[in-house]
């Protein structure tokens, strides 16, 4: 599959246009149009009508429609090009463009899920999500909400991975708070025995030196430990050693959103990824594909390198609310496009196998 995705290209152009607007209202209008385009289920080509006009798209106004028509008809948008040139922000726009590479729009996600020529994991072989946040840290969903939504989706388990105390900005939990949370999880697991299992987890913060800010004893109170970078995500110096140290930390199971990139605004960690993946393979640590549409981290291009290294994968949503459970589609799509075998995706494993793997770390 090529990178040809007009929805993605056009959403990017609308973001570029938003960035050079002077009025907050038009900035907001173009941004809203861009996200409407990213969320379309069909390619924009199918919105073009025989008379050359565009079918109405919710949240896309006349100025955005003009940009869309220019691109559909000529492959480029003179409107956006001249607005950027006039703003004097050409290099900034180029940088944002680079930071939108290999992000999938909703229409490409659905195409990858429905493409039978692609093998790999699928929604119906996916048993549970291993990165989720609750009201205990910075999420809006309660533990009960996670159980209810998990059961509704036919999952067998989910891991609650609230932030640890090392990340105060995300309301990280102290070990005392985790102990309280674990009592609540035990009570829910008793109530839902045989139907659903909530796993005790944490998202530990990978610090600048690669340590995860929690002791081995503390990590061992958890059933699933996601270690993920939340700082130094805009520096271009090599951070291979930082990431290798994190995956080699005993008790870590998943390298979460490995790059820490953000759509159009942040490149994330620079590292020799094949070396990081080789270390993860040796340590039996899973590489996460974070399905949050603004993260998509790692993406299908890097996933190919992790497949070549023989890594395990965790396909997670990083959900902060029950609406975010659908982000799993994006994670699965990247895995399928990256050629990840379903067998290597820990979320496809039955609970007993998952726990055996986790305890071996
Ligand atoms: Zn995180």
**For 43-65, what is each residue's pLDDT tens digit?**
999 999 999 999 999 999 999 99
Distance 206 CA to ligand 1 centre (A): 10
Q: Which residues surround ligand 1, an ion (CB under 5 A)?
A: 228
- pLDDT for residue 170 is more than 80: no
Cα distance between residue 251 and residue 270, in whole Å: 24
Nearest CA to 306 out of 267, 264, 348, 337 is that of: 337
Cα-to-centroid distance, 56 and ligand 1 (Å): 37
Query: Coil, strand or helix: which one is 226?
Result: strand
The pair phi, psi for residue 213, each rounded to 5°, is 75, 10
Residue 313 Cα, ligand 1 centroid: separation in angstroms? 17
Rounded Cα distance between 70 and 60, Å, is 15
What pLDDT sits at residue 1? 42
Hey, is 200 helix, strand or coil? strand
Alpha carbon distance 228, 206 (integer Å): 5
Which structure tokens are listed for 26? 């038009």
On whether the pTM is more than 0.85, the answer is yes
- Please spell the DSSP secondary structure of 120-171, one letter per residue: S--GGG--EES-B--TTTT-S--HHHHHHHHHHTT-SEEEE-PBBTT-GGGT
Tell me if residue 296 falls in helix, strand or coil: coil
Mean per-residue pLDDT, 112-140: 96
Whole-number Å distance, alpha carbon 278 to ligand 1 midpoint, is 22
Pairing status of strand 128-129 against strand 312-316: unpaired
**Which of 347, 355, 305 has the alpha carbon at shortest distance from 328?**
347
- Predicted confidence at residue 234, as pLDDT, reads 84
Strand order, beta sheet including 157-160: 128-129, 157-160, 197-206, 224-229, 254-255, 286-290, 312-316
Instruction: Quote the ligand 1 centre to 196 CA distance (angstroms).
Output: 25
Distance 65 CA to ligand 1 centre (A): 35
| pLDDT for res 3 | 53
Paired tokens of 74: 């000529």
Q: Looking at residue 231, what is its pLDDT? A: 86
Q: How close is the Cα of 308 to the center of ligand 1, in Å?
A: 25
In this prediction, residue 96 has a pLDDT band, given cuts at 50, 70 and 90, of very high
Write out pLDDT tens, residues 287-324. Answer: 999 999 999 999 999 999 999 999 999 999 999 999 99
pLDDT of residue 156 exceeding 60, the answer is yes
Within 13 Å of residue 110, how many CA atoms lie on the same side as its CB? 10
- Whole-angstrom Cα distance, residue 3 to residue 84? 24
pLDDT, tens digit (0-9, with 9 covering 90-100), for 70-94: 999 999 999 999 999 999 999 999 9
**Is residue 17 over pLDDT 80?**
yes
Residue 83 CA to ligand 1 centre (angstroms) = 35
Q: Looking at the predicted structure, is the pLDDT value of residue 342 above 80?
A: yes
CA of 349 to the centre of ligand 1 (A): 23
Peptide bond into 91 cis (omega under 30): no
Residue that is written with structure tokens 């994330």 in the block: 268
Closest CA to 52 of 34, 41, 66: 66
Q: Please give the Cα distance from 315 to 310 (Å, whole number).
A: 16
* Cα–Cα distance for residue pair 199/128, rounded to 1 Å: 10
Q: With CA atoms as reference, report the closest residue to 146 among 321, 332, 331, 342.
A: 321
CB within 8 A of 217, min separation 6: which ones?
A: none
**Is 227 strand, coil or helix?**
strand
Tokens 């246009």 appear where? 17
d(CA 243, CA 6): 34
**Statement: residue 2 has pLDDT above 60:** no
> How far is ligand 1, taken at its centre, from the CA of residue 314, in Å?
14
* Dist. CA 257 → ligand 1 center (Å): 7
Cα(305) to centroid of ligand 1, in Å? 22
pLDDT in tens, 216-274: 999 999 999 999 999 888 888 999 999 999 999 999 999 999 999 999 999 999 999 99
Rg (CA), the chain: 21
Band of pLDDT at residue 190, cut at 50, 70 and 90: very high
Give the residue from 126, 135, 183 showing the smallest Cα distance to 158: 126
């Amino acid at each position: 599959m090529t990178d040809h995705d007009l929805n993605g290209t056009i959403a990017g152009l609308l973001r570029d246009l938003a960035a050079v607007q002077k009025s907050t209202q038009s900035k907001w209008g173009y941004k809203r149009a861009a996200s409407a385009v990213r969320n379309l289920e069909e390619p924009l080509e199918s919105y073009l009508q025989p008379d050359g006009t565009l079918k109405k798209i919710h949240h896309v106004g006349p100025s955005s429609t003009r940009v869309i028509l220019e691109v559909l008809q000529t492959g480029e948008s003179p409107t956006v090009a001249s607005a950027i040139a006039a703003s004097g922000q050409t290099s900034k726009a180029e940088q944002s463009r680079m930071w939108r590479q290999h992000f999938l729009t909703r229409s490409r996600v659905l195409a990858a899920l429905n493409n039978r020529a692609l093998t790999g994991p699928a929604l119906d072989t996916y048993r549970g999500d291993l990165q989720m946040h609750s009201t205990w840290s910075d999420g809006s969903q309660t533990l009960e909400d996670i159980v209810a939504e998990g059961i509704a989706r036919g999952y067998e388990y989910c891991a609650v991975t609230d932030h640890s105390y090392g990340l105060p900005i995300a309301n990280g939990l102290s070990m005392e708070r985790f102990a309280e949370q674990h009592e609540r999880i035990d009570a829910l697991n008793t109530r839902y025995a045989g139907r659903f299992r909530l796993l005790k987890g944490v998202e530990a913060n990978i610090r600048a030196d690669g340590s995860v800010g929690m002791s081995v004893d503390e990590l061992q109170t958890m059933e699933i430990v996601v270690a993920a970078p939340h700082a130094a995500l805009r520096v271009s110096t090599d951070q291979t050693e930082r990431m290798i140290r994190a995956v080699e930390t005993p008790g870590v199971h998943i390298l979460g959103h490995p790059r820490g990139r953000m759509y159009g605004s942040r490149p994330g960690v620079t590292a020799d990824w094949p070396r990081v993946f080789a270390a993860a393979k040796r340590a039996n640590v899973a590489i996460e594909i974070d399905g949050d549409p603004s993260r998509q981290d790692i993406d299908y291009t890097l996933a190919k390198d992790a497949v070549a290294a023989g890594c395990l994968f965790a396909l997670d949503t990083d959900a902060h609310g029950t609406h975010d459970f659908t982000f799993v589609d994006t994670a699965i799509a990247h895995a399928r496009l990256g050629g990840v075998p379903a067998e290597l995706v820990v979320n496809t494993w039955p609970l007993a196998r998952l726990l055996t793997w986790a305890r071996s770390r």
